[in-house]
Amino acid sequence: MSHAKKRQPGLVASRQLRDLLFRLPKIDLHRHLEGSLRLSTLAEIASEHAVDLPSWTLEELRPYVQVVDDPPDFHGFLAKFKLLRRFYSSREAVMRVAYEAVVDAAADNIRYLELRFNPVALSLSQGFSFEDVMDWVIEAVQKAQDEHPIQTRLIIQMNRHEPQYAWELAELAVANKQRGVVALDVAGDEVNYPITDFVPVFQWAKTQGLHITAHAAEAGPPANIKEAVELLGAERIGHGVRAMEDLNMLDLLNRLQIPLEMCPTSNLQTGIIPRLAQHPLYSFYRIGIPVTINTDDPSISNITLTDEYEVSVRGVGVPLAVLPDIVMNAARAAFLPPAEKEHLVQWFAQTLPQYITSAEINV
């Protein structure tokens, strides 16, 4: 009679799934630099530069900059960014967090990353110029790309409550197109701040060759998607979760094949969805909308993209066999010139079948 311990099938399957999802080459189209800071780096910057904080110890700092036991709340989630603005205390600090954001993505086997950042957030608290901050981020991202197997492009993100900076940021983005800046984004509180002032800015930027994405129908109404597409010229939509409330918006997204940058964990933490099983990611996929899976703010949410894929499979109910399609959606939605995009699409099309050839893993 054998006395060997019995295997726990669920645990084995979980480890198999986790390993597979980690090894799977991935794409993240919706990741905020300001939400991608390592907690250990925050603690070091706070200590070195005497940043005025509630605490300088890692564990005591965590609840202020990361969702721990917070009740789901959209504005509570956004409030984390206010404290994070204090950490961009020097050229070295800005370059370090930008470099580490790309390195951490590469360590999660993300092969293509579009990292969005807000120069206002990185500069105003210390009085840096937007131009300097842009240079520092670009330099750090390039260094990380050179040293790791990841391709990265940058998106300049603006906040809805700060339209006074829109033109300056757009002009700066256009001036840095040849250095990896590919798009503009507008984010923030879509409940209380309209996009009216951003319309001429984004329309001009598009004529200058920049791509456009926009946070819409995350916390705001479904009609914000139509507004973003028709007024801003958005080619992709950040989140778009509340489109599920409006058949006309679903039809618009499907008819125009507008990719959605979806982030399930973030949507749960902000209270946009009550539970993961009610996230519309897979429902949207089934009706033909090109959905993608992304992290949003990995350090605030305490996740990796591998975590987000596992959440999508286990929590949302996305079949394992569907994941290559979703990765391919992201490749086709990348803000790259046609030849570069074709190369990216071909690489993923050839590589993905090596990782998920069937749905044999018991999840």
Is residue 14 domain-resident?
Answer: no
Q: What proportion of the chain, given as a percentage, has pLDDT over 70?
A: 90
Q: What does pLDDT average to over the chain?
A: 90
Q: Rounded to an integer, what distance in angstroms lies between the CA atom of residue 163 and that of residue 201? A: 10
20, part of any domain = no
Q: What is the pLDDT of residue 58?
A: 67
pLDDT band per the 50, 70, 90 thresholds, residue 72? confident
Crossing angle for the helix pair 338-351 and 323-333, nearest 10 degrees?
A: 170
Please count the residues of the chain: 363
In whole angstroms, what is the distance from residue 150 CA to residue 152 CA? 6
Range among 3-12, 59-68, 297-306 with highest mean pLDDT value: 297-306
Q: What is the pLDDT of residues 21-56, one digit of tens each?
A: 999 999 999 999 988 888 888 778 777 766 666 665
Q: What is the CATH number of the domain that holds 57?
A: 3.20.20.140
213 phi, psi to nearest 5 deg: -130, 165
In this structure, are residues 288 and 282 in contact, taking their beta carbons and an 8 Å threshold?
Answer: no
Active-site annotation holds for 218: yes
Give the DSSP per-residue string, 31-67.
EEGGG---HHHHHHHHHHTT---S--SHHHHHHHHS-
Give the span between the Cα atoms of 223 and 212, in whole angstroms.
18
Q: Are residues 22 and 313 in contact, defined by beta-carbon separation less than 8 angstroms?
A: no
pLDDT of residue 74: 73
* pLDDT, greater one: 248 or 78: 248
Q: Are 312 and 9 in contact (CB under 8 A)?
A: no
**Given a cut of 70, is residue 5 above it in pLDDT?**
no
User: 16 lies in a domain?
Assistant: no
Domain assignment present for residue 361? The answer is: no
How far does CA 34 lie from the centroid of its chain?
A: 11
Q: Is residue 15 part of a domain?
A: no
**Residue 8 confidence (pLDDT) above 50:** no
d(CA 226, CA 233): 10
Q: What is the pLDDT of residues 291-315, one digit of tens each?
A: 999 999 998 888 999 999 999 999 9
Which entry of 34, 100, 114, 218 is annotated as an active-site residue? 218
More confident residue, 77 or 127: 127
Strand order across the 291-293 sheet: 26-32, 110-117, 151-159, 181-187, 211-216, 236-239, 260-262, 291-293
- Name beta bridge partners: 239: 216
pLDDT tens digits, 260-292 = 999 999 999 989 999 999 999 999 999 999 999
- Could you tell me if residue 94 is inside a domain? yes
Q: Which domain holds residue 327?
A: 26-354
| pTM metric for this prediction | 0.92
362 in any annotated domain: no
User: Residue 22 CB: number of other CB atoms within 10 A?
Assistant: 17
Q: What pLDDT, on a 0 to 100 scale, did the predictor assign at position 363?
A: 47
Give the range among 52-56, 150-154, 169-173 with minimum mean pLDDT: 52-56
Using CA atoms, how far apart are residues 230 and 306, in angstroms rounded to an integer? Answer: 34
Domain tally, the chain: 1
Rounded Cα distance between 17 and 187, Å, is 33
